[in-house]
A and B are shown apart, each in its own frame.
Chain A
Amino acid sequence: MLPPFPTEKKVKNGMCTAQKDWGMQDIEAAVARHPAHRGSLIPALQDLQETCGYLAPEALAVLAKHLSISVNEIYGVATFYTQFRFSKPARHKIQVCQGTACHVRGGHMVLEEFEQMLDVKAGEATKDGQVDLERVACLGCCALAPVITVDGLVHANMGTRKVPAILAPLGVKEESKAT
């Protein structure tokens, strides 16, 4: 069996990662989609992350049993790859591209602006659990650099001045930082 893929609708709406409701039966269904074979490990982890939004410990326990390997070994593999996360995702996800094309056109300044406005460092979630701020190496839209994604949707030709307009619909206002 092949791992599941984002449907056209999901791709269009860019909803590959948002927070979801899930239960043990979803985890078991996700795990059962993969043959009990070592080569299934990474696809199954990807599947579980898509199901739960992160690699929940209870999900890894089910997977370990299915593949007959230890949970520790799963952690060993999963921590190698930047895609996997081990804590609950925030409501919204903002990825700021730090690829070369974006860097030379000021992508790092866009990231700093987000860090300042959200009062977090890249890789962290805001204290209210609303926004995850992530850095990403190239989204493949380099010609439209700098690029960011908000909940999977690409915004091109970004600049520091466009940051407030991106954050406003997520409930973050510029005034909140004013002293």
Chain B
Amino acid sequence: MSSIAETYTQAESDWKALESAQGPVFYVGAATCGRAAGAGKTIERLEQEIQSRGLSARVVETGCIGPCCLEPVMIVQTPGAPQVLYGGIGPEEATAVLERHGLGGEPCAEWALGTMDGSVWKGVGPFQDHPMMAGQVRHVLRNCGIIDPEKVEHYLARDGYRGFLRALEIGPDGILEEVKASNLRGRGGAGFPAWRKWEFCRSVTSETRYLICNADEGDPGAFMNRSVLESDPHAVLEGMLIAARALGATEGYIYCRAEYPLAIHRLEKALGQMRELGLLGKNIQGTDFSFEMKIKKGAGAFVCGEETALIASIEGRRGMPQPRPPFPAVSGLWGKPTVIHNVESLANLPQILVRGGAWFAQFGSESSKGTKTFALAGKVNRTGLIEVPLGTSLRHIIEVVGGGSPGGKSVKAVQTGGPSGGCVPADQLDLPVDYESLTAAGTIMGSGGMIVLDEDNCMVDIAKYFLSFTQEESCGKCTPCRVGTRAMHAVLDRISKGLGTLEDINTLEEVAMTVKNGSLCGLGQTAPNPVLTTLRYFRHEYEAHILRKECTALACSALVEYQIDETRCTGCGACRRACPVGAISGESKKTHVIDPKTCIHCGACLNRCPEAFAAVYRQSGTVLRRETPKKKSAAAAPEESAS
């Protein structure tokens, strides 16, 4: 083991050498999202080209830089020119960029998103001027998409572990002061000040203390923690070292969802690198501080994101929450004082230690300091991972950064906080994103999931969706939660099928309050939020379902009639063959008709009608929707008749 000082010197000179490499360097975003979008093929192509042409070029796999909608993304670096970020780089584009930019030294304007250093180069402006970057401040994500997450040297070259080294110097009390000055609040949802939790834990006398990183990311529709773990795992692990030092913890666990195999793999690798550098194990960096870390894979239970359930799961039991007090900070894992933090809370710590708590507190709003990452998804043009100072308005995030809803549709609402949160209607988008404002609006900050809904999304359906999730995930320990979530789901299901009554709305409200007040853990206490917020802001939609049997968004299938437009139907028979209940009749090459009595509203005919004809249309109450026919293309050609 060489000393850490030597390692820094080496890492920094390696990083400089990479940045000033003689040949072109291609940094391809290869986190799970990038791979899903085809980054693997892009990398393969680049490597083939480099080999067959005998180039002295390099391909570096990085994490996720954020604009998932533009994936696969790639940064190209050539000697003496600024790095340029490209989006939408499949294999063909990769070859073109390699030839024109990598070898020719000219940027490919059609795919360029901007330069990375803020300069204007041959007509390509800075990436930070891209609308998606407007107002973004990247602290937690500072290395994401920039470094190779599997190379600790890259992390070290960008001030990695300097926060921890300072933490060793200033000692536990010094760390606590710094974090107190930052006023960092937990990023896992509740927003509890980190330093208060630490003080609480430190006030208990115990030989053993545990620190747990909550990487369960249970909100179905959120991926901030995954991105950070995959793109910059050392930032989270350094945060754990800092917190462990402040708490006097001896052992740490990272509880990560099993659905994130790449994150687990990168954490594994990073732990090995830490051990080699003397950053893990006994007497770290020659001090009296010893710390071990283990990864625990979650086993697929949303409730295990709750602290006491998570602890039960690590102990090898059913993941059922326990009453608090005692709080885990006093009696947690194996009965010892335990602090649990979200991935992002921990990932903030290295920078707080390097730059100081006061630096951190400059960002954000009065009560909510710092920045927050959000996973922007749903009906929004620019989906992806973003980071903005707390207090930024929802409108800025959705309309400027996200670019509004696709297809010229209007934004109807935004959902934050996942199953524990609620929907904020479009007319309240000026709300600042901080813990207090969102709570006042009936939702919660949550861990950073942000789903945009447009006019095609039905609010009854959204409430029903979340309740079907929570009723399935309720651990069943408390009757109000177990029975109440099921009851609410049943009522919502009735309403969505046009079988509801106005009385049902009162029932929903009553049950919601019972569940909220009578549940032991956060799952039950917050499960009614999706219902309560949609009732608060979108009561008219509930009433339309009940009184007029109309789903304006055409999302509730039972209230949608399928019909065939005789002016467009060519009698190809695709719908007739697709209908699972034989509701469609018609001779070959003659107009087909749907028998409304037999139809089960499954939509198979709509899906199968060749796009070039688009003859099937939908109607609910007074709302009627036709799809516009697409130009006849190979993909949309009518299917071969099997008979």
Interface set of A (CB-CB < 8 Å, partner B): 2-3, 5-8, 10-12, 16, 38-43, 45-46, 76-77, 80-84, 98-105, 109, 112-113, 116, 136-145, 147, 152, 154-156, 160-161, 174-175, 177-179
Q: Nearest Cβ distance between residue A113 and chain B, in whole angstroms?
A: 6
Q: Are A154 and B35 in contact (CB under 8 A)?
A: yes
Stretch at the interface among B16-24, B311-319, B388-396: B311-319
Does B511 sit within 8 A of A, measured CB to CB?
no
Chain A residues near B264 (CB, 8 Å)?
5-6
Q: Are A100 and B318 in contact (CB under 8 A)?
A: no
Interface residues of B in 37-93 (CB under 8 A from A): 37, 40, 68-69, 71
B36, B259, B294, B451: the one contacting A144 at CB < 8 Å is B36
Q: Are A101 and B297 in contact (CB under 8 A)?
A: no
Q: Are A142 and B315 in contact (CB under 8 A)?
A: no
- The 5 A-B residue pairs whose C-beta atoms are closest, nearest first, are A100-B221, A143-B68, A41-B316, A99-B220, A81-B299
Q: Mark B588-629, 1 if CB is under 8 A from A, else 0.
A: 000000000000001110010001000000000000000000
A39, A136, A145: the one contacting B316 at CB < 8 Å is A39
Q: Are B582 and A179 in contact (CB under 8 A)?
A: yes
Q: Are B318 and A136 in contact (CB under 8 A)?
A: no
Q: Contacts A101-B378, A104-B457, A144-B383 given; indicate if A42 touches B316 (C-beta within 8 A).
A: yes
Chain A residues near B262 (CB, 8 Å)?
11
Chain A residues near B318 (CB, 8 Å)?
76-77, 80
Q: Are A155 and B36 in contact (CB under 8 A)?
A: yes
Interface size class of B (residues with CB under 8 A): 35 or more
Q: Which residue of B lies closest to A76 (CB)?
A: B318
Q: Are B377 and A101 in contact (CB under 8 A)?
A: yes
- A80–B217 CA distance with the chains assembled, in angstroms: 18
- A155–B40 CA distance with the chains assembled, in angstroms: 13
- 27 contacts across the A-B interface (CB closer than 8 A): A6-B261, A42-B297, A42-B313, A42-B314, A42-B316, A84-B299, A100-B377, A101-B377, A101-B378, A101-B451, A104-B379, A105-B378, A116-B602, A137-B218, A138-B221, A138-B222, A138-B223, A140-B227, A141-B36, A142-B375, A142-B449, A143-B223, A143-B383, A143-B385, A154-B36, A155-B36, A175-B642
Q: Which residue of B lies closest to A139 (CB)?
A: B259
Q: Contacts A141-B33, A144-B33, A144-B37 given; indicate if A5 touches B268 (C-beta within 8 A).
A: yes
Chain A residues near B182 (CB, 8 Å)?
none
Q: Which residue of B lies closest to A6 (CB)?
A: B261
Since A38-B316, A138-B220, A178-B642 are in contact, a sample of 13 more A-B pairs with Cβ atoms closer than 8 Å, ordered by chain A residue number, is A2-B295, A41-B316, A46-B297, A82-B300, A98-B220, A100-B466, A104-B451, A138-B217, A142-B375, A143-B377, A145-B377, A154-B32, A160-B603
Interface set of B (CB-CB < 8 Å, partner A): 32-33, 35-37, 40, 68-69, 71, 217-223, 226-227, 258-262, 264-265, 268, 294-302, 313-320, 375-379, 383-385, 415, 418, 449, 451, 453, 457, 462, 465-466, 469, 475, 577-578, 580, 582, 602-604, 607, 611, 639, 642-643
Q: Are A140 and B260 in contact (CB under 8 A)?
A: yes
Q: Nearest Cβ distance between residue B374 and chain A, in whole angstroms?
A: 11
B301, B418, B602, B639: the one contacting A112 at CB < 8 Å is B602
Q: Are A80 and B301 in contact (CB under 8 A)?
A: yes
Q: Are B36 and A147 in contact (CB under 8 A)?
A: yes
B258, B260, B639: the one contacting A46 at CB < 8 Å is B258
Q: Are B300 and A81 in contact (CB under 8 A)?
A: yes
- A35–B316 CA distance with the chains assembled, in angstroms: 13
Q: Contacts A5-B268, A6-B265, A179-B577 given; indicate if A141 touches B32 (C-beta within 8 A).
A: yes
Q: Are A105 and B639 in contact (CB under 8 A)?
A: no
Q: Are A140 and B32 in contact (CB under 8 A)?
A: yes
A10, A12, A101: the one contacting B221 at CB < 8 Å is A101
- A129–B265 CA distance with the chains assembled, in angstroms: 31
Most buried by B among A41, A100, A116: A100
- A39–B311 CA distance with the chains assembled, in angstroms: 10
Q: Contacts A2-B294, A2-B295 given; indicate if A77 touches B316 (C-beta within 8 A).
A: yes
Q: Are B297 and A43 in contact (CB under 8 A)?
A: yes
Q: Are A100 and B260 in contact (CB under 8 A)?
A: no
Most buried by B among A39, A81, A82, A137: A137
Q: Are A100 and B315 in contact (CB under 8 A)?
A: no
Q: Nearest Cβ distance between residue B47 and chain A, in whole angstroms?
A: 14
Most buried by B among A5, A46, A84, A143: A143
- A104–B302 CA distance with the chains assembled, in angstroms: 20
Q: Nearest Cβ distance between residue A79 and chain B, in whole angstroms?
A: 9
Q: Which residue of A lies closest to B318 (CB)?
A: A80
Chain B residues near A98 (CB, 8 Å)?
220
Q: Which residue of B lies closest to A104 (CB)?
A: B378
Chain B residues near A38 (CB, 8 Å)?
315-316
Q: Which residue of A lies closest to B456 (CB)?
A: A104
Chain A residues near B453 (CB, 8 Å)?
104
A46, A139, A147, A178: the one contacting B299 at CB < 8 Å is A46
Chain A residues near B69 (CB, 8 Å)?
143-144
B33, B265, B602, B603: the one contacting A143 at CB < 8 Å is B33
- A10–B69 CA distance with the chains assembled, in angstroms: 26
Chain B residues near A100 (CB, 8 Å)?
219-221, 377-378, 415, 418, 449, 451, 465-466
Q: Contacts A8-B265, A140-B260 given; indicate if A81 touches B301 (C-beta within 8 A).
A: yes
Q: Nearest Cβ distance between residue B603 and chain A, in whole angstroms?
A: 7
- A39–B294 CA distance with the chains assembled, in angstroms: 12
- A73–B260 CA distance with the chains assembled, in angstroms: 28
Q: Nearest Cβ distance between residue A97 and chain B, in whole angstroms?
A: 8
Q: Are A83 and B265 in contact (CB under 8 A)?
A: no
- A139–B267 CA distance with the chains assembled, in angstroms: 18
- A135–B319 CA distance with the chains assembled, in angstroms: 21
Chain B residues near A142 (CB, 8 Å)?
221-223, 375, 377, 383, 449
Chain A residues near B295 (CB, 8 Å)?
2-3, 5
Chain B residues near A3 (CB, 8 Å)?
295, 297
- A42–B294 CA distance with the chains assembled, in angstroms: 14
Q: Are B301 and A137 in contact (CB under 8 A)?
A: no
Q: Are A137 and B469 in contact (CB under 8 A)?
A: yes
Q: Nearest Cβ distance between residue A66 and chain B, in whole angstroms?
A: 13
Q: Are B314 and A39 in contact (CB under 8 A)?
A: yes
Q: Which residue of A lies closest to B406 (CB)?
A: A105
Q: Are A39 and B315 in contact (CB under 8 A)?
A: yes
Chain A residues near B227 (CB, 8 Å)?
140
Q: Are B449 and A143 in contact (CB under 8 A)?
A: no
Chain B residues near A101 (CB, 8 Å)?
221, 377-378, 451
A2, A5, A42, A140: the one contacting B226 at CB < 8 Å is A140
Chain B residues near A144 (CB, 8 Å)?
33, 36-37, 68-69, 71, 383
Chain A residues near B40 (CB, 8 Å)?
12
Chain A residues near B577 (CB, 8 Å)?
177-179
